[in-house]
Amino acid sequence: MYGLVNRAVEQMVRERFGAERWHAIQARAGLEDEGFLALRTYPDDVTYRLVAAASEELGVPAPAVLEAFGEYWVAATAQASYGDLMRLSGRTLPEFLQNLDQMHSRLALTFKHMQPPSFTCSDVTPTSLVLHYHSTRAGLLPFVVGLVKGLGEYFHTPARVEVVATREDGAPCDSLRVTMAA
């Protein structure tokens, strides 16, 4: 996973819990005391270890860490560094979700070694849709839940997010029903 992602985890922990907590998490994850380079790729294992260490150190279940990270990512990284891309990708929450795949294809031009996730939508109504999440990686569904909630805040469109199918239970992909306040 690109260092950009690990860096955002670091930034979130530092902002919310301080430098000391971050160093404890880094040590628990068995990582060197050096920063992540945004455009370098790191083994996925580094990200998983960071999440596990943060979960243990902060006493919060790993899925909750991932969900909080998803919300943080939209508020901090996506808006701060990729504002133009965010604006180009849709004017409303449902429009944006239906363009997620295109957004990631654009990102793959910059992040050449990226293994991007893929998203499709079905059952689209004026107030809800089902978002299908495809990935080569396991265990990141709570991250997507947080991302979608973060996008709801970004668009000032409170959204309820329910997991309706998971790969873990044998479905071909993970699926989330997103319901927007009418």
Binding site for ligand HEM (CB under 6 A): 1-2, 4-5, 74, 78, 82, 85-86, 100, 107, 111, 114-115, 117, 135-137, 140, 143-144, 147
CB-wise, 29 or 148, nearer to ligand HEM?
148
CB-wise, 24 or 163, nearer to ligand HEM?
163
Residues 180, 159: Cα–Cα separation, whole Å = 5
Contact between residue 17 and residue 58 where contact means Cβ atoms under 8 Å apart: yes
Contact between residue 114 and residue 107 where contact means Cβ atoms under 8 Å apart: yes
Smallest CA-to-CA distance from 51 within 43, 42, 60 is with 60
| Residues forming a β-bridge with 121 | 131
CB-wise, 14 or 118, nearer to ligand HEM?
118
Q: Cβ 144 to ligand HEM, closest distance in Å?
A: 5
Q: Cβ 20 to ligand HEM, closest distance in Å?
A: 28
